[in-house]
Amino acid sequence: MHELSIAQNIIEIVQQYVPGAAMADVRSVRVRVGRLSGVVADSLEFSFSAIVAGTALGSARLNIEHVPAICRCEGCKGEFEATEFVFVCPGCGSVNTRLISGSDLQVVDIDLEEAPVQKP
Ligand SMILES: [Zn+2]
């Protein structure tokens, strides 16, 4: 399962940046998922929860942001949002376009719990 190995990679990234003692303080991991990355967000969340369950990262949640797929046209230098897998420039009709975002996944932020908040 594709998402399972991606979830595993995300956890490895968290482990690189967060010292072991602070693992339990990780509340959320923000990732950007490109529209055309082929990653199914629900499936990724499910995989992540399954892996961290019962570990020090057990209370961490994935916070997924979707990134639109943006293409740049080599003909008129315009940029447009690609839909599906057809990248025809709406400005000039050129098919000489390049996907410049929306095809990958990146971890952008890891939120740790702040100092405990006093609740009434
Ligand atoms: Zn164009």
Distances (CA, A) of 66 to 8, 20, 108: 19, 29, 12
Gap from CA of 32 to ligand 1 centroid (Å) = 27
Q: Nearest 5°: phi and psi at 110?
A: -125, 115
Write out pLDDT tens, residues 14-40.
Answer: 999 999 889 999 999 999 999 989 999
Provide the whole-model pTM.
0.81
CA of 37 to the centre of ligand 1 (A): 23
Query: In degrees, to the nearest 5, what angle opens at C-alpha 18 toward C-alphas 65 and 119?
Result: 75
Distances (CA, A) of 56 to 26, 49, 86: 9, 12, 43
Q: How confident is the model at residue 116 (pLDDT cuts 50, 70, 90)?
A: low
- What's the gap in Å between 85 CA and the centre of ligand 1? 16
